Structure formats: structure tokens, C-alpha cells
Amino acid sequence: MIQAFKAFKIRQDFFPGWYALFTNPFFIARYGLMKHMQSLALQCKGHLLDIGCGRKPYKSLFQVDSYLGLDIENPGHSHEQEDIDVFYDGQRFPFEDSSFDSALCNQVLEHVFNPEEFVAEIHRVLKPGGKLLLTVPFVWDEHEQPFDYARYSSFGLKSLFEKHGFRIVEHRKSVASIAAVFQLLIAYIYKLTVTRFYPVNAFLAVVLMFPFTLTGSLLSFILPGNKDLYLDNILLAEKL
């Protein structure tokens, strides 16, 4: 029963439903990401490389021939709950040139201290015409400290990827509405109140954060959007 609940909670973290609406402080951000990932995942075909895969939370969205997870080997971090197929040293991906038809890089680029080399490696291991689906925060608090190095605007991403031989097929801005402001307020409250005990955190989420989640979500349908203030970038790019 406990294991089943843990599995349910993990899925709700990335595919938020009614339960996460009440208990997940990051419902607004995660729901926005999920909707974009669902609509773009079918653009990825063949042999896919999930770069910085962690738990592979969105694997079920991809209908591909093979799905391989790559992540950096970090001696100071437990990988016990993760689903990593291949580790690498943070520099060169351990694959031959043009090995993959598509790649996924989900909320990883902000943790990469050498983005130029990182993007060049993605380009190298993709086949010509291969697709990359990438998400990265634009407005968000520092997280996974001390390994949080950057934020990217839409213009910065376009410049970085075009410089390294990609064509931008589509760029989306997730939660470009008043809901972004409410999500940041919720993140502020969360950082001040989070404990080591999930039941306590869930209770605080319902009492302190759910009202803001609901209000922000409802107001996003009423008030005009703002394309200059948003939570996450979603990029679909093609190797030239």
C-alpha cells in the first residue's frame, strides 16, 4: 500500500491531477509543462536519448523504438530512486556521432555549467534531421543548490542552439499569464514552510498554497496573458 501510494504521488508530481491540485505546491508549473510535453512528444521518433533523465518522468509520452537515459555521475547524490541507463562525466557523451534520431532534455540546461559544449554534444550524437525537445526555466527560484547556474530567455536559447547547428522548429512559453506570479508566490511560501515530513507538507499545501493555486489558475482564464513573463521555455529544434 505504501509503495503504491509513493508511485501514485510521484506520477502526480509530473502528471498533476485532482490530488496534485490540492497537495503539489508546483501544480501550476508542472501542469503547464505536462501539457506542452504531451503535445510535442510525438515529434520525437526512432532511437531517443533522454539527457539528464533522472527518473525518466515523461517516458510514457514517447512512442519510440528505444528510450535510453543518460545522466551525470555524481558521487554526492544518491541515484537510488532514478532510472539511469548510462552515466557520463559531464563532458563528452559516451556515444558515437549520429547515434540517435531524437533527444529529450527536460529541466537540465540550467544545471549545466558548460552550455556551449553541452549543446555541441547533443548536436554531435543526433542524426541529421534529428529532433530535440528541450525544456528549461525562465522565471524560477534557485533550486538543487549549488548546481543551479543559469536562466534562459527565448532569445538566448535561439542564439545558443542556432550557433551550434540547430533550426528552431517551435518555441513555446509555458504559463505566460498571471498564474506565473501566483506560482512564484507559492514557491516563496513553500521555501519558508517545507519540512522533512510529507504529511505536514501536504497539510500546509492544502491550507496555505492551494487557495493561491486555485486563484491563479482561475484568473489566468480571465486576465490577459503576458508573453514576456512566463515560467518555462519549451523548445523543439532540428539538427541541420
Better-predicted residue by pLDDT, 81 or 98: 98
Q: Residue range 148-171: average pLDDT? A: 97
Nearest to 72 by CA among 30, 109, 124: 109
CA distances from 65 to 46, 47, 61, 62, 128 (A): 5, 5, 13, 9, 18
Mean pLDDT of the chain: 94
Q: Residue range 146-169: average pLDDT? A: 97
For residue range 34-69, what is the model confidence (pLDDT) as tens digits?
999 999 999 999 999 999 999 999 999 999 999 999
Domain regions of the chain by residue span: 2-239
* CATH architecture under which domain 2-239 falls: 3-Layer(aba) Sandwich (3.40)
Cα separation of 1 and 150, whole Å?
A: 40
Nearest to 232 by CA among 184, 192, 190, 194: 184
SS3 label, residue 131: strand
Task: Report whether pLDDT(77) > 80.
Answer: no
Quote the pTM value.
0.93
What pLDDT shows up at residue 76? 55
For residue range 183-240, what is the model confidence (pLDDT) as tens digits?
999 999 999 999 999 999 999 999 999 999 999 999 999 999 999 999 999 999 999 9
Cα separation of 133 and 131, whole Å?
A: 7
Instruction: Kindly state the DSSP code that residue 150 receives in the 8-state scheme.
Output: -
| φ, ψ for residue 80, nearest 5 deg | -60, -40
Task: Report whether pLDDT(81) > 80.
Answer: no
Sign of the dihedral defined by the CA atoms of residues 67, 120, 82, 131, in that order: negative
Cα separation of 102 and 193, whole Å?
A: 40
What pLDDT shows up at residue 185? 98
| Helices (H), ranges, the chain | 2-14, 18-23, 27-40, 115-125, 154-163, 178-193, 198-204, 210-219
Task: Report whether pLDDT(75) > 60.
Answer: no
SS3 label, residue 99: coil
* CB 234 within 8 Å of CB 171: yes
Task: Tell me the β-bridge partners of 86.
Answer: 70
Name the strands in the sheet holding 47-51, side by side, starting at the edge strand that comes first in the sequence.
86-88, 66-72, 47-51, 100-106, 126-137, 232-239, 166-174
Task: Report whether pLDDT(82) > 90.
Answer: no
Count of residues for the chain? 240
